[in-house]
Structure 1
Amino acid sequence: MKKAKYLDDSRGANLGARLRRLSATIDRDASRTYSLMGVEFEQRWFGLLDQLIINGPMSVREIAEALGITHVSVSQSRQSLEKAGYVSSRPDKNDRRRNEIHLTPRGHELTKRLNPLWQALVKVAIDLNKEGDDLIASIDKIELALKSKSLHDRVKDILLTTPPYRGE
């Protein structure tokens, strides 16, 4: 008898693991593509750089809100982008308490160089989404369901209302 692999469970029990595996595969292949262009680039930088290209200088909070990620994630990306020389932070002209992230000349150069690759990656992502029967729409539905009721609350309800879990 053939044993099923954990990650092959098609019922959704391993949703988090499957999404992490898919994300890792995409990141690994994107990194290989950047390497072909002779560029050391971390895939996690894309969202932050894209926001700066679209909107100009932004604060960590603004970028986090635009991308739907944590301030910590944006700060970590900002730090590694600063270390690479692609962005810099400086006080906002109108509010000195607030720092804005800017593309440096080196960052502008990088984004111009990578733009054709990013356009190709976007096309491939759209094509893959179609091949996957609109995975993005499914992810949107799951995110909406979790906003309505968290995973924690859903599990807690099962544990509190189902006899085998209540200790009966």
Structure 2
Amino acid sequence: MHNVIDQSGLLAISTRLQRLSDQLRKDGQKIYELYGVAFEPKWFPVIYTLYQKPILSVVEIANEIGYTHPSTISLLKELEKQKLIRSKRDKTDERKRLLVLTEKGNMLVEQMKPVWNTMVKSLTTLTDTSNNIMKAIEEVEEEMEKQSFYQRAQLIKRKE
């Protein structure tokens, strides 16, 4: 049975994507718990990015994960408090902070690798549909780079 939001079609795309994201995050949390790994899914973008690119500045991390600078700072503070990352001063620019995984952070990544493998396998079975969501997301992101939702609405309003 569909609710009002489901029936509203494109008008509720943001709500439905948020709902899907929330469910994936909740299930992700349960999967980490299933494997006995103490990890918050919201930490994933930073931890994974620093695992892939071991030394980055705050701005570089924000760009890599696609978050605003203030949101990134907030997440970094939380991860520093958990002692999963640490910052050090850039030798060439004293104002710049460089972030790295700590030994605890690297140990956590090693614990998470089998979890990530399970997640990829599970998500593959979930998303391998005739309308593959990852391909669709990539297409929409490419379109939004050309012209945002807001810019498109402005053009339509001008024509009214």
1:8-157 equivalent positions in 2, closer than 5 A: 8-9=6-7, 11-131=9-129, 133-157=131-155
Q: 1:132 to 1:33 in 2, by over 3 A?
A: farther
Q: Structure 2 vs 1, CA of residues 126 and 5 (structure 1 numbering), >3 Å: closer, same or farther?
A: same
| SS class of match (2:92) | coil
- Hey, what does 1:165 align to over in structure 2? none
Change over 3 Å in CA distance of 1:126–1:10 after alignment to 2 = farther
Which whole-Å CA distance do the structure 1 matches of 2:15 and 2:30 have between them? 22
Letter in 1 for 2:36: G
Partner letter of residue 56 of structure 2?
A: M
Q: What residue ranges of structure 2 are gaps of 5+ in the alignment?
A: none
Q: Is the partner of 2:128 in helix, strand or coil?
A: helix
Q: Distance in 2 between matches of 1:26 and 1:126?
A: 13
Structure 1 residue ranges, 4+ long, deviating more than 4 angstroms after superposition: none
Q: What displacement does 1:48 show?
A: 1.0
Tell me the amino acid that sits aligned with residue 157 of structure 1. Answer: L
Percent identity of equivalent pairs: 30
User: Do 1:6 and 1:14's aligned partners in 2 also have CA atoms closer than 8 Å?
Assistant: no
Instruction: State which structure, 1 or 2, has the greater radius of gyration over its C-alpha atoms.
Output: 1
The 1-side partners of 2:40 and 2:69 are apart by 18
Q: Answer yes or no: is the 8 Å Cα contact 2:37–2:111 preserved in 1.
A: no
- Pick which of 126-135 and 10-19 moved more: 126-135
TM-score, normalising length: structure 2 = 0.88
| Structure 1 position 40, deviation (Å) | 3.0
Q: Which runs of 5+ in 1 are unaligned?
A: 163-168
Q: Which TM-score applies when normalising by structure 1?
A: 0.84
Corresponding residue pairs, total:
160
